[in-house]
Structure 1
């Protein structure tokens, strides 16, 4: 009898992400996962004490492998997120369109710390204001992503670019208390590295 292949947590999480991506979050069960992996349920239960533990680890896995942006700008992070919503609708639903227990963070953003730091530096904002500005932009971006992931509305690349730019101009004007177009252009220029 040939030796059994050892199954690691990362193998289970990768298979679970593939299963959800192909069939949707509702398809995920220990049995369906074992069937997809060609193994018994035993290795899955050995790696994860419960379905809840597997589910939590899977959400963390998706955040790290699909959502942590290796982007060069603030806008690129948003475009990466929107592309995830468009191309990985089922994984988006798993992470963002689920019932959450009381007290759980409503929006997971693995790029938040770096983004806030860049906003502080480019816009001369304190941490609190930079965090608020980012949160507002997240709301705009999240609403577009939900529309794309649920099939409610599709955006062209040009529409996405235009919407993100316009939303940023509006939010920037508010948080910098811009009084003129000239002043707005100054802050847009200062944040050009964020918009590239």
Structure 2
């Protein structure tokens, strides 16, 4: 029996490199196969469809982000630290960031759902947020997500370059504003 030359991991690695360089707008079986230097057959032997490959790739990337990016401590406040790490990722990998979190062909809802679940898990480990209701956590997630995605997008495109302290202040101001609105039942 012949040994598989193009494994699932090899295809995912090639797909990752393609998305990292070109985004999801050119994410086709033909382009992934071209990156590998083969026909499209190995892709369809390992994955049911290109959507299956895309979903698997996005899950793989998010797992990598959780393990290697999002856990780094900066301030001791888990919420602020996750936000900083998200922005740092956008600066170190601008094309991949745009592909995953901004591009209409990218991760979109899948990245939002994964980040929301991860956010809840991590934030509940912090005493400051542990006892908050799901409504509070939802408001914190969405408010910080909007703020940091905006900042990260503007920074990735070179439009603005705030200092680390300015980034922390914007994040903290966002958190404080959401908490104030929520505490006054205005959110």
Same fold (TM over 0.5): yes
Q: Highest CA radius of gyration, 1 or 2?
A: 1
Residue 137 of structure 2 aligns with which residue?
Answer: 130
For 2:3 and 2:88, how far apart are their aligned partners in 1? 39
Residue 120 of structure 2 aligns with which residue?
Answer: 113
For residue 81 of structure 1, report the CA deviation from its aligned partner.
0.8
- What is the count of residue pairs matched by the alignment? 171
Residue 35 of structure 1 aligns with which residue?
Answer: 34
Residue 166 of structure 2 aligns with which residue?
Answer: 159
**1:71–1:131 Cα change, 3 Å:** farther
Residue pairs, 1:1-196, within 5 angstroms:
6-67=5-66, 69-72=70-73, 73-99=78-104, 104=109, 107-108=112-113, 109=115, 111-118=118-125, 121-123=127-129, 124-177=131-184
- 1:70 counterpart SS class: coil
For residue 76 of structure 1, report the CA deviation from its aligned partner.
1.6
For residue 62 of structure 1, report the CA deviation from its aligned partner.
1.8
For 1:63 and 1:106, how far apart are their aligned partners in 2? 8
Name which structure has the greater RCO, CA cutoff 8 Å, separation 6+: 1
Unaligned 5+ segments in structure 2 are none
Tell me how large the CA RMSD over aligned residues is. 2.7
Please list the CA deviations of residues 72-129 of structure 1 after superposition, one character each: whole Å capped at 9, or x if unmatched. Answer: 42222111111122222222222222337xxx5682305222134246x424422322
Q: Which moved more, 1:54-63 or 1:150-159?
A: 150-159
Q: Please give the TM-score of this superposition, normalised by the length of structure 2.
A: 0.74
The answer to whether the 8 Å contact 1:19/1:36 transfers is yes
Unaligned 5+ segments in structure 1 are 178-196
Residue 183 of structure 1 aligns with which residue?
Answer: none
